[in-house]
Structure 1
Amino acid sequence: MTERASSRQADTQPEPHDPRQELGAAELRILYRQEAQAKRRKDARPGLWIAVVIYVLFSVSDLILIPDVAAYTITARFAVGLTALLVLEAQLRRGAATDWLDVTCAAAIIFGYIGWLLPASMGANKESVAFYMVFGTIFMMSANLFFTFSFKVSIITSTIILCILYVVNYFLPATLTYKMVFGTFYVSCFTFTSYVNWKLNEERYNVFLNALEAKIQHKEATERGKALLRLSRTDPLTGLENRRAIDEKLRDYWSDWQKLGSSFAAILIDVDFFKKFNDCYGHQEGDRCLIHVANALSDLIKDYNGSIGRYGGEEFIVLARMDKKDKVTELAEAICRTVENLALTHELRRDGISIVTASVGAAFTRTQAGAKLEKIIHEADRALYLAKASGRNCARLFDPTDPQSSDESENLAALLKIAIAQNLVSLVYQPIQDVASGRFEAVEALMRLKMLDGTLVPPSLFIPVAERTGAILELGRWAIRTVCNELLVDDHVRVVSVNVSPIQLKTPGFAASVATILGETGVTGNRLAFEITEGLEMEMHSDILRCISDLKLLGIKIWLDDFGTGFAGLSWLRLIDFDTVKIDRSFLHDCGTPKGMAMLQDIIALVRNRGHQILVEGVETDEQIALMREFGIDRIQGFRVGRPVPAANYQTKKPVHKRPYLRSA
């Protein structure tokens, strides 16, 4: 819609204006006179100085042609020239009007001729004076040679010179033929000078029109260029700066930080569950939502003297010069509250909130070795990831000491890239017991990671990093293949459950890759169970639902893990027919209080009413086992049942164990 509107505006954009069509003749003449005045004012000083210098240099001709009165003519030349220059300089200093400058220059021409001609006419050699009068035509043409007079002023000046010539010519003792010839010559010079002056003024006017038109065209071209530049740096939907403009500004901020120590913050803002908003209300409403958010945040950022831009999709970025972390945290929290206070309805959220909110990740410049421009954005992105993982609608400031966001997680990300090739990743298996029969019906595969020096990395550290970096995809396929090869191919256990991330379920082709592994290893799908963690990342995404349906067609069992700790539970229980629901260990451990006991019973009743089998995690005592029998729980898992052990512990045993409990170190 915006592009079409822009296209229409471009199509209807008028051609460059012709000033002769835009302004009337009178207006153009006024504008021309205003511009001509400026030029005449500029040319007055150099024109008069040059004219005076040439006028004085003609003193040489006086010494040759009229030596008897040369002293008087030369004195007159200097007197007129100096007087004219002094008057003009005084006028310029006082800021006299341009017309008065023209009068001074014209008067200098007239009096220059009179001041020379009168002493020259008193000389003894009248014939020389008669021929010398021819030089009077030079004064007639001086109005055009040295100055840019208007046609009117030039004609008046030349006419006065002509009259002086005729007066002198009349009283000069000479034949009638002589007077007629020179009189005709003077009139011819006057006519020629007047014509040249008229053509010059006409040409000046045409030059003015062409220059005016060129100036207008240049102005329009400049404005169009600026408009195109603004367009190339502006997001067409929200009107904010786009990624290109923000990247340029980020480089400026970074340069000031490196050179001047001017610290700043980079803040990434992501609208929560925006895809769901689009799916529910349509893309037009989604666009309006982004515009509302952009306008609100833009108003907020003005108070912090910062810049805001759209970084792509539903993500915005803020850059602000700040000197303390507390101010960064304050701004990040203000951004969250600003979006929340818009109260834009979002009914399809599954976290108990029915309005649009935003997750915010902030990073602050800090001294570090080998720091690069991209580092601060990367840190803000890691903080944003933690904000989402913490429940959304919150702000997180990057903390280099936090293992979830610190540089240590980047080391883990690098480690995960080589983990499979370097045999740094392995699986251990924890038994799952059937409460009624006491048999070990299944085991859960748990991933372990060690560093190059052999130090173990807790799953709580490396699993989030693997999900954030996408390494979970390759690790997940490796885990499924390893489970099949280690325990299922030779029937060491009946069923193995494998934890699967929602990121894997959303990845195109995941079900097909699982089918390929089953085909290559010869394991049937009913030997596998995929545990899906109930968490914030497990959105009701159509790709996830489709993938789960494809996996069930392969015979794979689908379990809901850690039920009760996330927000999607009831929705997923309604949408998906889970084979087993695993109740989180925290509910069992809270049974020491009446409220905790009631809560566990309510959850069990809820799951049982949906017809799913129930598995309770965290069983660690005989009393808890007895309680599970009392509640009619189907399966249990915990240290009292058995600790996680390598595959070798199962490869030497029969698939089904009849001992009531398995104690393993």
Structure 2
Amino acid sequence: MGAEARNDFGMQSPVQTGFVVTNERASPALADMADAEPFELHYEPRSDELRDLYRKEGQAKRRMDARPGLWIAVAIYLMFSATDLLLIPDVAIYTITARFAVGMTALLILEAQLRRGVATEWIDVTCAGAIIFGYVGWLCPAVMGADKESVSYYMVFGTIFMMSANLFFTFKFSVSILTSAIILVILYIVNYFVPSTLTYKMVFGTFYISCFTFTSYVNWKLNEERYNVFLNALEAKIQHKEATERGQALLSLSRTDPLTGLENRRAIDEKLRDYWSDWQRSGSSFVAILIDVDFFKRFNDFYGHQEGDRCLVLVANALADMVKQRNGSIGRYGGEEFIVLARMEKREQVADITEAIRSTVQNLALPHEHRRDGTSVVTVSVGAAFTRAQTGAKLEKIIYEADRALYLAKAGGRNCTWLFDPNDPQSSDESENVAALLKIAIGQDLVSLVYQPIQNVASGRVEAVEALMRLKMLDGTSVPPGLFIPVAERTGAVLELGRWAIKTVCAELLVDDHIRVVSVNVSPIQLKTPGFATSVAAILSETGVAGSRLAFEITEGLEMEMHSDILRCISDLKLLGIRIWLDDFGTGFAGLSWLRLIDFDTVKIDRSFLHDCGTPRGKAMLQDIIALVRNRGHKILVEGVETDKQMALVREFDIDEIQGFYVGRPAPAARFRARPATHKRPFLVVKSA
């Protein structure tokens, strides 16, 4: 559009550019809005569009002004009845009657039109007609008065009707001109027939023309000013709209994850506060669910970060659709972790939504061929926490509980769900007491080691022992390993405890040759920690113990991802002479891959396989596992031997070594220092301390 536009009454007026007229323009993308200037010109309206919009807004204003304008005009029109009584008393009764008749009729017609919602143009006609007929209705009986001189002068008041088109109403310019022109014609007609001198006719004729010219000019300026006000108001409105849209876009951008399009952590935290407030105020219970993409680092390593981003987008879209159907909210909580919030009435409903989340991702069937846990597609682990009545509950507590549930889901093998249970020792508040206890355990002598013997089946001699960690509370109460070991791994305390265990084993049994070999359980977290092999070498050097007398047991579990850090660490440990044993073989999915990549000295078969040998199928399975391990050339150790029948069975299967209550229960180091380790079955009756 140029620098000027034509309004509907035919005049040109300056128009500022740089604003949008239409309200139906689509908002730009968030990123575009973020980069756009505050009042960037998106669309330039044509002059005809401006006129149409002005007419539409003008119609609304004319409708709004019509009622008060006509009521005020009629009120003033009726008040002039007093001048009729003074100036033309002989016909005043007729003029006053005419005034009331015209005024009341005009008001009744207008109110009926407004009630029926007729077009604005007809309302304008009614108001303009009221002006014209108001003058004519008064004029007809007025000219019949006996005092012609008074009548001739009184007629000058007709110019008031000419000006009233602009005083009381906001007519379009054409309607105002037409109304004033009709009044002017009537004035001239009456002026012609009124008996008077030529001078009188010329003076008042000139006066009527002057009034018409003046009122027309005023009308033109008023319309021009109205149009300029319209343009300025329109520009202000559009600029406000642009600023509002930009602000909303920036706000949305600040609350949106740029990769997945989900709400980001900031937005979901705000929503979490709303959920929590509703829970505290009205008891509207809800569930907080944390979702972690399994083995995502490995996915990125093998497929690349672009494919990793694509994977997250696909997972996010699928979960968003599923969660939306359940009236929940989903956001990206960081990295490969998502969070879902959903209102629920009962704890039992949580299982449905968490399983739906897990199965939705698995059903995407996104390839993930490098997991090495028996699954070849992308999956998620899901941890959930449900609101519950508790003393001193805080907003952060439910997220903390969901995070602990997620950890247990991952510890349970991944691709599974876990609901936080305050009565579960692994997830209860008691574990937080344990976490605090572990920080002072070594310094306060709250942690100790016991040793369970390992017997060579052929010779009957105890050739090694397994070191088992024990923890007690400050009051002497024992803490189950099933409780404190996961907490130690989750909090990182296992690193310091692990170093302490290795050093203690060397000092208690290996330095003085009480036992030939001691095995120590090593967490995957330790193997992933840079410098772990170096710290072990330092302990061996400090104590003077040969590395060949230490065995590290690595559990076949979920955390044993096959990445270079672990493989490098195991290689460094073997260079120190340390024996590497695979613990609990058969309970996970990664065992075969580990057997292929690592030359284990011993493979420990989980006790469950031996205890299942009461059935032909269980016995056949144990035989198959033994054959598989033996074909790889590893030494075989069977755990859980407790009876003579089980002992006979391991002899039948030609097992290398056994461990269990049949050989001996865990005992303090003092028991081993007191007896030679070469005796046959020396620990059959040893009790645990």
Q: TM-score, normalised by structure 2?
A: 0.84
2:45 aligned partner: 22
1:367 is aligned with what amino acid? Answer: A
1:22 is aligned with what amino acid? Answer: P
1:392 is aligned with what amino acid? Answer: R
Q: Mind listing any 5+ residue stretches in structure 1 that lack a counterpart? A: none
Contact 1:442 1:494 in 2 (8 A): yes
User: What is the aligned counterpart of 1:31 among 53, 61, 64?
Assistant: 53
1:171 aligned partner: 193
- How far did 1:539 drift? 1.4
Q: Residue 564 and residue 107 in structure 1: after superposition, are their counterparts in 2 closer, same or farther (change >3 A)?
A: closer
User: What is the aligned counterpart of 1:272 among 294, 303, 323?
Assistant: 294
User: What is the aligned counterpart of 1:463 among 457, 472, 485?
Assistant: 485
Report Cα offsets for 1:514-539 as digits up to 9, x if no partner. 45555666666555432211112211
Q: Residue 528 and residue 65 in structure 1: after superposition, are their counterparts in 2 closer, same or farther (change >3 A)?
A: farther
> Within the alignment, does 1:316 sit opposite 2:304 as a pair?
no
User: What is the aligned counterpart of 1:382 among 404, 417, 431?
Assistant: 404
- How far did 1:46 drift? 0.7
> Within the alignment, does 1:645 sit opposite 2:667 as a pair?
yes
User: What is the aligned counterpart of 1:285 among 297, 302, 307?
Assistant: 307
User: What is the aligned counterpart of 2:329 among 307, 311, 321?
Assistant: 307
2:571 aligned partner: 549
Q: Within 1, Cα distance between the matches of 2:589 and 2:112?
A: 89
- How far did 1:93 drift? 2.1
Q: Within 2, Cα distance between the matches of 1:536 and 1:26?
A: 71
Contact 2:33 2:249 in 1 (8 A): no
1:155 aligned partner: 177
Q: Residue 426 and residue 90 in structure 1: after superposition, are their counterparts in 2 closer, same or farther (change >3 A)?
A: same
- How far did 1:197 drift? 1.1
Contact 1:583 1:614 in 2 (8 A): yes
User: Percent same amino acid at aligned positions?
Assistant: 81
* Worse-superposed segment, 505-514 or 155-164: 505-514
| RMSD (CA atoms) | 3.6
User: What is the aligned counterpart of 1:365 among 364, 383, 387?
Assistant: 387
The DSSP-based 3-state class of the residue aligned with 2:584 is strand
1:254 aligned partner: 276
1:240 aligned partner: 262
Q: Within 2, Cα distance between the matches of 1:294 and 1:337?
A: 14
The DSSP-based 3-state class of the residue aligned with 1:22 is coil
Q: Residue 627 and residue 112 in structure 1: after superposition, are their counterparts in 2 closer, same or farther (change >3 A)?
A: closer
Contact 2:630 2:636 in 1 (8 A): yes
Report Cα offsets for 1:502-560 as digits up to 9, x if no partner. 12222344344445555666666555432211112211122222332343445544332
2:413 is aligned with what amino acid? Answer: G
- Equivalences, count: 657
Contact 2:520 2:553 in 1 (8 A): yes
1:374-523 alignment, distance < 5 Å: 374-433=396-455, 441-488=463-510, 493-515=515-537, 517=539
1:582 aligned partner: 604
Report Cα offsets for 1:140-169 as digits up to 9, x if no partner. 111111100011110111112212222333
Q: Within 2, Cα distance between the matches of 1:266 and 1:529?
A: 43
Q: Mind listing any 5+ residue stretches in structure 2 that lack a counterpart? A: 1-28
Q: Within 1, Cα distance between the matches of 2:386 and 2:351?
A: 10
* Worse-superposed segment, 187-196 or 421-430: 421-430
Contact 2:463 2:678 in 1 (8 A): no
1:89 aligned partner: 111
* Worse-superposed segment, 479-488 or 30-39: 479-488
Q: Within 2, Cα distance between the matches of 1:520 and 1:123?
A: 135
The DSSP-based 3-state class of the residue aligned with 2:366 is coil
Q: Residue 490 and residue 138 in structure 1: after superposition, are their counterparts in 2 closer, same or farther (change >3 A)?
A: farther
Q: Within 2, Cα distance between the matches of 1:120 and 1:591?
A: 127
1:537 aligned partner: 559
2:45 is aligned with what amino acid? Answer: E
- How far did 1:108 drift? 2.0
Contact 2:34 2:246 in 1 (8 A): no
Q: Within 2, Cα distance between the matches of 1:105 and 1:627?
A: 113
Q: Within 2, Cα distance between the matches of 1:578 and 1:387?
A: 28
1:356 aligned partner: 378
Contact 2:34 2:249 in 1 (8 A): no
Q: Residue 45 and residue 520 in structure 1: after superposition, are their counterparts in 2 closer, same or farther (change >3 A)?
A: farther
Q: Within 1, Cα distance between the matches of 2:490 and 2:321?
A: 32
Q: Within 1, Cα distance between the matches of 2:279 and 2:30?
A: 38
Report Cα offsets for 1:167-214 as digits up to 9, x if no partner. 333334444333323322221221121112122223323333443444
Report Cα offsets for 1:346-366 as digits up to 9, x if no partner. 222323232333333333333
1:662 is aligned with what amino acid? Answer: P
- How far did 1:99 drift? 1.6
The DSSP-based 3-state class of the residue aligned with 1:577 is coil
1:294 is aligned with what amino acid? Answer: A
